[in-house]
């Protein structure tokens, strides 16, 4: 049951297309996953692909799967081989086009679909700050970044206003997947229907204005913002962009190539339209295989000096002296190879590795200050699950590879031990070559170090 005020507005917007639009609500929603290149080459995945997949046309690593497939129940999901994501939601980060070595911000990042997609583009280089204002959602964001093996991300739980004070003109690219009225998710999420109102559309539009203003302050000259929503409401889409460009004449809409099925933004759907709205993008469920989305690519005018180096107002994180993590150094010598250490910091008994040239984190609410390396325990070091998921088999001396088609991997994820012959010490446990967790071999028994909170039946 769609809200009457919503349907009346959509009739006015779509006119002859309205019947096709409404008919799309009776069809099954499309489901997709996005492969994670941080875990290996896609060719390796397709050599043992357990699903029936067809490409999502607007992103390199996105694939539709069938209703018979159960990717969330497969050990590859636990290993971070892919991220299950609504197909239209894969488009905005594709247009952000982040590059290794850049400073990138995902301002409204939970649950992490776009952030993990951005991290894959960055290939472990540069700094990605993934922010979420709601604490519970920020925790889920942090967990997903860990599962996908992301090394160069700092997860924060901050307001856009505070971030803009700390990071003026710091970022090369900013993703603003703004909180919205959620009209594009009506087919997927019944709660979005019950929570909808015209008043909420107006509230969301005002909130979006404030978020974009903060993003504008944090972007370098010549940088890119991608603004996106999952709503059809012009007030939150073309209207938000038009209001933003009126307030910020240093920005312009950047023309981008549209994939098949994508539609142009419409100047006639908003008052006082900005120039170039036809270069923004709408995704309608009756035009393509995905839910409703909107996105705009915004470019800030100007160029930076070639020797410009962006810095946060907090300065740079210096890290600790190697004498303070000698147990980790011993672990590295015994267990790891081909591992390049960066800035290392310690919070209590927890050890983290930060991205290169990471900003000082004092005064920020931080959930994940980089890659969690592990925990100090009575003169020894215990590696973290996050470290295991960020490793490849060539990064360690000892591995045990389990087959996804055999019961042992399911038992391991459920917390059980198994027998193994070899030298004692830490082993990276993999599934079909993908890192999944740690085991520690002693006396022919592989002790299970899969986190208790993540154990489950497959």
Bridge partners, residue 155, by sequence: 130, 368
Exposure class string for 393-430: b at 16+ Cβ within 10 A, else e: eebbebbbebebeeebbbbbbeeeebeeeeeeebbbbb
User: Annotated catalytic residue: which of 108, 180, 230, 392?
Assistant: 230
Exposure class string for 121-138: b at 16+ Cβ within 10 A, else e: bbebebbbbbbbbeeebb
Q: Are strands 434-442 and 445-448 parallel, antiparallel or unpaired?
A: antiparallel
Q: Tell me the C-alpha to C-alpha distance, in Å, between residue 275 and each of 205, 250, 254.
A: 19, 13, 11
Q: Give the Cα separation of 15 and 24 in Å (integer).
A: 15
Q: Give the Cα separation of 417 and 431 in Å (integer).
A: 15
Q: Are 93 and 226 in contact (CB under 8 A)?
A: yes
Known catalytic residue at 180? no
In the structure encoding, which two tokens stand for residue 441, read together?
Answer: 């071999």
- Give the H/E segment covering residue 210: helix 198-218
Q: Give the Cα separation of 261 and 284 in Å (integer).
A: 8
Q: Give the Cα separation of 338 and 434 in Å (integer).
A: 17
- How buried is residue 340: exposed, middle or buried, by Cβ count under 10 Å (0-12/13-18/19+)? exposed
In the structure encoding, which two tokens stand for residue 325, read together?
Answer: 């993590």
Using the structure block, give the residue that is written with the tokens 């006396």.
443
- Angle at which helix 135-147 crosses helix 113-122, to 10 degrees, equals 40
In the structure encoding, which two tokens stand for residue 41, read together?
Answer: 């080459």
In the structure encoding, which two tokens stand for residue 251, read together?
Answer: 């920005």
In the structure encoding, which two tokens stand for residue 394, read together?
Answer: 């060539």
In the structure encoding, which two tokens stand for residue 399, read together?
Answer: 């591995």
In the structure encoding, which two tokens stand for residue 423, read together?
Answer: 């030298």
Query: Quick count: other Cβ atoms within 10 Å of Cβ 382?
Result: 17
Q: 215: Cβ–Cβ under 8 A, 6 or more apart, which residues? A: 105, 107, 160, 164, 174, 176, 225
Q: Give the Cα separation of 142 and 146 in Å (integer).
A: 6
Q: Are 38 and 148 in contact (CB under 8 A)?
A: yes
Residues identified as active-site = 230
């Amino acid at each position: 049951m769609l809200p009457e005020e919503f349907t009346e507005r959509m009739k006015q917007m779509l006119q002859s297309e309205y019947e096709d639009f409404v008919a799309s609500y009776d069809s099954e929603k499309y489901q997709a996953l996005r492969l994670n290149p941080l875990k290996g080459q896609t060719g390796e995945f397709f050599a043992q692909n357990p699903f029936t997949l067809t490409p999502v046309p607007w992103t390199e690593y996105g694939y539709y799967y069938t209703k018979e497939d159960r990717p969330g129940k497969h050990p590859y999901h636990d290993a971070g081989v892919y991220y299950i994501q609504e197909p239209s939601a894969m488009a905005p980060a594709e247009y952000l086009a982040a590059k290794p070595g850049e400073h990138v911000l995902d301002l409204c990042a939970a649950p992490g679909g776009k952030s993990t997609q951005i991290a894959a583009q960055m290939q472990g280089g540069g700094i990605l700050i993934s922010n979420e204002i709601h604490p519970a959602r920020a925790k889920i964001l942090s967990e997903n970044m860990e599962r996908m093996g992301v090394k160069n991300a700092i997860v924060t739980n901050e307001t856009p206003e505070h971030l803009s004070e700390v990071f003026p003109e710091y970022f090369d690219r900013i993703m603003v997947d703004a909180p919205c009225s959620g009209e594009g998710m009506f087919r997927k999420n019944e709660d979005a229907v019950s929570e909808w109102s015209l008043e909420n559309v107006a509230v969301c539009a005002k909130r979006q204005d404030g978020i974009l203003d903060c993003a504008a302050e944090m972007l370098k000259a010549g940088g890119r913002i991608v603004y996106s929503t999952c709503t059809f409401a012009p007030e939150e889409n073309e209207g938000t962009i038009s209001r933003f460009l009126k307030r910020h004449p240093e920005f312009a809409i950047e023309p981008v190539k549209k994939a098949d099925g994508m539609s142009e933004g419409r100047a006639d759907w908003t008052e006082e339209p900005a120039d170039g709205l036809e270069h923004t993008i709408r995704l309608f469920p009756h035009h393509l295989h995905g839910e409703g989305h909107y996105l705009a690519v915004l470019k800030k005018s100007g160029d930076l000096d070639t020797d410009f180096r962006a810095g946060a107002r907090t300065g740079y994180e210096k890290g600790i002296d190697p004498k303070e993590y000698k147990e980790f150094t011993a672990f590295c010598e015994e267990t790891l190879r081909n591992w390049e250490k960066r800035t290392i910091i310690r919070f209590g008994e927890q050890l983290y590795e930060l991205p290169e040239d990471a900003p000082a984190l004092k005064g920020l609410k931080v959930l994940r200050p980089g890659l969690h390396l592990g925990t100090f325990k009575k003169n020894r070091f215990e590696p973290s699950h996050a470290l295991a998921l960020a490793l490849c088999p060539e990064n360690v001396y000892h591995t045990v590879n389990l087959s996804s088609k055999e019961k042992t991997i399911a038992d391991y994820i459920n917390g059980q031990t198994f027998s193994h012959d070899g030298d004692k010490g830490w082993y990276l446990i993999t599934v079909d070559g993908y890192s999944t967790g740690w085991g520690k071999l002693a006396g022919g028994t592989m002790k299970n170090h899969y986190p208790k909170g993540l154990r489950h039946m497959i």
